[in-house]
Amino acid sequence: MLTPDTEGQPPFLPPTPAGVARAAELLRAGEVVALPTETVYGLAAHALDEKAVRQIFSIKGRPLIDPLIVHGLDVEFLSTLAHFTPQARELTAACWPGPLTLVLKKRPVVPGLITAGRDTVAVRSPAHPLARTVLQACGLPLAAPSANPFGYISPTTAEHVRTSFGTKVPWILDGGPCAVGLESTIVDVSDPTRPPRLLRPGPITAEALAQILGQPVHGPESSGRIDEAQGLDAPGLLTRHYSPRTPVALLKPAEPPPLTPDQHCAWVRMGRHNKETTPPGDTDIFWLSETGNLTQAAQGLYALLRQLDEAGYAKIFCELAPATGLGATLNDRLRRAAGQG
């Protein structure tokens, strides 16, 4: 039951004590295991084992200049890897475990491979019960970028991981669909003498961070720019990222798509609000939420984009969300899906 099928599709590791024990054993042996977090599924490996971490980069086709987030149970555990500043402690007290990643000064034990040679490391304590049970069982810090080929849409189900990688990732712990559905917020609080910097908008909004810290949180400043010396500021900020293969075009809230003669298109909307809408021409309409609930829209966005990408549409029109709070994060991901980050 818990051995991989190398011919057909690999079976999932079940979300049971046996599944967790097997995942922990594999991770301790230096293997890569895909596992659920509350944001998206991650491709996890022992963060201090360079050989194991190298496999993550190779499986994802991820450039080595793109540093990885290290996951751990709590501040105490992650303090062995990073220096927590007073601002970091305020944020963790309010948001951990949860979808917030902190960039902090690293300790020498963290390999340069994880940080792309920087003196900072990104750390997070995930809230997903299964991820936490695995962290507890293996006792390791886990590097775990999203379990998708580099640049493609992040996975929010075990099936998404299997569809992308097949037998390349034989170990997938199935925890059902992710509750949040968007990648974590990343904030740099490594230097107590500088204001905090938002490197990637996420489920914990800039407004929420500002309220916790009692000061505005700005950024990202260098969208998609590659700095030769430093590498990418946060490669999740590449202008094209989280992208389907099908072209994506953005629409303002409530703006109808243009008539596209002879093209079979999809129109993704945030909410239906009980209104009947007739799309122009040969366009199919999809609602992320009946009521325009953005938490629900975030949960379902990547699964819908993957489904539409497989369905053979000529173009996917996406309605932007109202631009505050979680809407700003959704719009960030939609812009990157459209290559307009």
Q: Which residues within the stretch 77-116 sit at the binding site for ligand AMP (CB under 6 A)?
A: 103, 115
Rounded distance between C-alpha atoms, residue 78 and residue 81, angstroms: 5
User: Counting contacts by CB under 6 A, is residue 186 touching ligand AMP?
Assistant: yes
**β-pair partners for 185:** 100
Residues 6 or more apart in contact with residue 140 via CB below 8 angstroms: 27, 28, 46, 47, 48
User: Counting contacts by CB under 6 A, is residue 69 touching ligand AMP?
Assistant: yes
Rounded distance between C-alpha atoms, residue 178 and residue 191, angstroms: 32
* Closest CB 42 distance from ligand AMP, rounded Å: 7
Give the residue with the Cβ less far from ligand AMP, 13 or 70. Answer: 70
User: Counting contacts by CB under 6 A, is residue 121 touching ligand AMP?
Assistant: yes
Cβ atoms 99, 38 nearer than 8 A: yes
Residues 6 or more apart in contact with residue 220 via CB below 8 angstroms: 197, 198, 199, 200, 201, 233, 234, 237
Give the residue with the Cβ less far from Mg ion, 239 or 260. Answer: 239
**DSSP letter (8 states) at residue 146:** B
Best CA proximity match to 320, nearest among 295, 296, 297, 291: 297
User: Counting contacts by CB under 6 A, is residue 271 touching ligand AMP?
Assistant: no
Give the residue with the Cβ less far from ligand AMP, 217 or 265. Answer: 217
- How many residues touch ligand AMP under the rule CB under 6 A: the total is 20
Helix (H) or strand (E) holding 319: strand 315-319
Give the DSSP letter string of 231-254.
Answer: EES-GGG-SS-S--SS-EEEE-TT
- Among 146, 164, 205, 329, indicate the residue that binds Mg ion (CB under 5 A): 146
Give the residue with the Cβ less far from ligand AMP, 14 or 224. Answer: 224
- Among 25, 50, 66, 191, indicate the residue that binds ligand AMP (CB under 6 A): 66
Give the residue with the Cβ less far from ligand AMP, 101 or 299. Answer: 101
The entry of ligand AMP, Mg ion, none near residue 268 (CB within 5 to 8 angstroms by kind) is: none
Task: Pick the piece of the chain touching Mg ion (CB under 5 A) from 146-154, 192-200, 272-280, 284-292.
Answer: 146-154
Task: Pick the piece of the chain touching Mg ion (CB under 5 A) from 23-31, 144-152, 171-179, 246-254.
Answer: 144-152
Residues 6 or more apart in contact with residue 135 via CB below 8 angstroms: 71, 72, 73, 126, 142
User: Counting contacts by CB under 6 A, is residue 234 touching ligand AMP?
Assistant: yes
Best CA proximity match to 171, nearest among 59, 72, 62: 59
* Closest CB 285 distance from ligand AMP, rounded Å: 30
Best CA proximity match to 23, nearest among 122, 96, 132, 127: 132
- How many residues touch Mg ion under the rule CB under 5 A: the total is 1
Residue type, 120: T
The entry of Mg ion, ligand AMP, none near residue 213 (CB within 5 to 8 angstroms by kind) is: none
- What is the CA 17 to chain-centroid distance, rounded? 26
User: Counting contacts by CB under 6 A, is residue 28 touching ligand AMP?
Assistant: no
User: Counting contacts by CB under 6 A, is residue 189 touching ligand AMP?
Assistant: no
User: Counting contacts by CB under 6 A, is residue 118 touching ligand AMP?
Assistant: yes
User: Counting contacts by CB under 6 A, is residue 236 touching ligand AMP?
Assistant: yes
> Given the rule CB under 6 A, which residues bind ligand AMP?
66-69, 103, 115, 118, 120-122, 145-146, 183, 186, 199-200, 232, 234-236
Q: Where on the chain is the footprint of Mg ion (CB under 5 A)? A: 146
